[in-house]
A and B are shown apart, each in its own frame.
Chain A
C-alpha cells in the first residue's frame, strides 16, 4: 500500500471512528440514554423530523445540559492538544515536544491554584478556567521574553527557558498549595488531575472560540510549518522569515493549549501519542498530519472521558490519569521500536 492510499485509509478510519465514539459517549454515563432517542432529539432540535420516542424530562436535561457539552469539550480539548503537539514537535524538531515545554501546564496550574486560594473559583463563574488561562499565557509570554533577553535564542535556549519558567511556576504552585486549606486543596487536585465534570455550554463556547480558529490557522500555516521543520538555516535560505513564523506558531499553539488546559486541567500524552501514532501512516507534512492529529486527539479524549465517567461507580476517575495510563506505555513501546530500528 503506497503512502497516499494508506493516508486515505487512516483518514477514513478516523472520520468513521470519531462519530461512533461520540455516539457511544453520548449514550453512556451514570444514567444510560437510548442512542435512538438522543439522535432523534438532536434531529428535532435541528428542525428535522423526530424518528424515535422523545427523551423523558430527566434524560432530556441530562443530555442537553450536562452530557452533550461535556462530550463536545472532550473532542475539542483532545483535538486541540494533539494539533499543538504535532506543531511543536515540528517546530522544535523534537519528538518529545508538547505544550508543557512552553510552560502552559505549570502556568495554568499556578493560575488555577491562585483562583482557588483566593476563593474566586467558589464565587465567580468561570473564574477558575480564566485564571488558568491567564496563568498559561503569562508563562508563555515569560518564556518568550526571557529567551529573547540576550538576542534571538536558539531552539535549545527556548526549551531550557521553558523548563526554567515551568519550574518557577510549579514552585509557586507548591507554596500556594501548602498555604491553602485542605478542602480547597482538594478542588485544586481535581483540576490538576484533569477532568470535565461540571463543565457546561459556556465552557464549550470559550473552548470553541479559541481552539477551532487556532487549529484552523495552524492548518492554514501548514507550508511554513513544514519549512520550519527543516531547520532555521534551511528555512531562512528558502525565504521564510524564521523568527516571525516561529512567533506566530507559538502564539497560536499557546492559545489552543492554554484554552484546552484551562478548561480540562492536565491531560497529558495526547499531544505526544496522537502525532507519533499518525506520522508513519499519514506522513510528516503538516497539511496531512494536523487534521489527522485533530481527529485522533479528539477520539482519544472522548474515549478517555467516557472511561473516566463510567469505569467506576463511586468516583469520576481523573481524565489526565487515564490518558497517561494509556499514553505512557504506548509512548515507551514506540520509543523502543524506534531505537530498535535505529
Chain B
C-alpha cells in the first residue's frame, strides 16, 4: 500500500511538474489570460472533457461497445458538440469487476477532471463509485446499471431503468393473459432476484399464481435440461425467466430444443433476446415475449433518425443499451445548452442543477423525464421475436405500462 502510494505520488509530482511547465508556457504565450478555476470547471469556450466509462474487456465488452458506438454517434450527428461546446470524449475501461470500474472512475473524475461521466454497465461498479461521485459532486449520467438499492442520490442520474422494472412491467399483463400457474426461473444473482421480485410485485396482486420459483447457479449453468424437465412435468401454463448474455443463448436454444417453446408461452425481461444474443438464438427464439423500454422498430421521429443512422453506421439494429447511451449524450447536450443560455459558468454543479430541471426529453424510446430518484418515468413495451427477411428481430406488440412515477 505504501509502495502504491509513493508510486502514485511520484506520478502526481511528474504530472504536477509537467502542468507547471505547461502553465508557465501558457502564461508566457498569452499574457493576462485567465486560468480555469477548480476541478472540472471548463473555461468559457474551448473543449469540455466528458468521461465515458464502459467495459472494453471482459464479459460485458459487447454492451460497452454498443454504448460507446451510440454515444459517439450522437456526437458525430452534432458536429462533435454538446450544448454548443466542443467535446473531448475521454473513455475508460470499466472492466468486469467493481474494483476495475472504481479505479477507472477515479482516473476520470480525479486525474482527468472531466466535467461529467456517462456509462457504467455493472451494478457492482455503480455501488462502488457512489461515494466518489457524490463526494466529488460530479454529474454521472449513467446509461445502464441501476440497482434497486440506489436511492437518495444527488449527482447520479440514469437514462436506463431501475433493475426491477422490466419485471414490474410484465406482471399484470401476464396475470391477465395466462389462465393458470406460472413457473419462475432465473439466474442466481442480484439481477435475477430483482427481476423475479419485480414481476411478483405486479403479478400476484393482479391475480397471478406462481407454480414454483427456482434459481439456477450463475454463471456455471450451461445445461438447462434438468430445469426444463421439471417445468415440463409441472402444472405451469407459462414460464417467466431472467437470463442475459451467454446464459440467454443457452437457455433459449434449449427451451426450443426440448420442445417447451411449442407448449408453454415464455415471458422475460428484454435482455433475454436483446442485441447480439438474438443472432445466436435465431429461430429458437421465435415467438418469445419480452418487455423493454426501447424497441428498434418504434414509430417516432427521434427513433427514425436514431435507428436508421445506427443501422447504417454499425450494421446492426440498435439495442436498449445503445438507446440509453444515446439519450445520456442527449441529456448532457440539453443541460449544457441550458447552462450556456442562462449565461452561467459551466461547472459540475451548474450542469447537475440543469439536468434536474430538464423536464420532458424527446427520445427514440418516446418522451420521458427524470423522477425524484434520477431514473426515467417512461413507457414499457411488449415485444415478440419475429422473423424478418434477414434474420430475427424484437417487434413491438403493444404498450404495457408507464413506470417510474410511483
Q: Do A and B bind each other?
A: no
Give residues in B with beta carbon < 8 Å to A: none
